[in-house]
Amino acid sequence: MDGLLLVLWVARLLFLLLLYVFLYRVVRTLLRDLRAAAREPTATLGRLVVVASPGSEPPAGHVFALQAITTLGRDVNNSIVVDDPFASTEHAVLTSRDGTWYIEDLGSTNGSHVNGQAVNGVATIGFGDELQIGQVRFRLERPRV
Q: How far apart are CA 98 and CA 61, in angstroms?
A: 28
The rounded Cα 13 to chain-centroid distance in angstroms is 46
Task: Candidates 44, 62, 89, 107: give the one binding other proteins (CB under 8 A).
Answer: 62
* 54 lines the binding site for other proteins (CB under 8 A): yes
Q: How far is CA 136 from CA 58, 85, 131, in A?
A: 8, 10, 8
Task: Candidates 38, 70, 112, 144: give the one binding other proteins (CB under 8 A).
Answer: 144
Task: Candidates 14, 68, 69, 107: give the one binding other proteins (CB under 8 A).
Answer: 14
Binding span for other proteins by CB under 8 A among 60-68, 70-78, 88-96: 60-68
Residue 41 or 121: the one with the smaller Cβ distance to other proteins is 121
Q: How far apart are CA 87 and CA 98, in angstroms?
A: 29
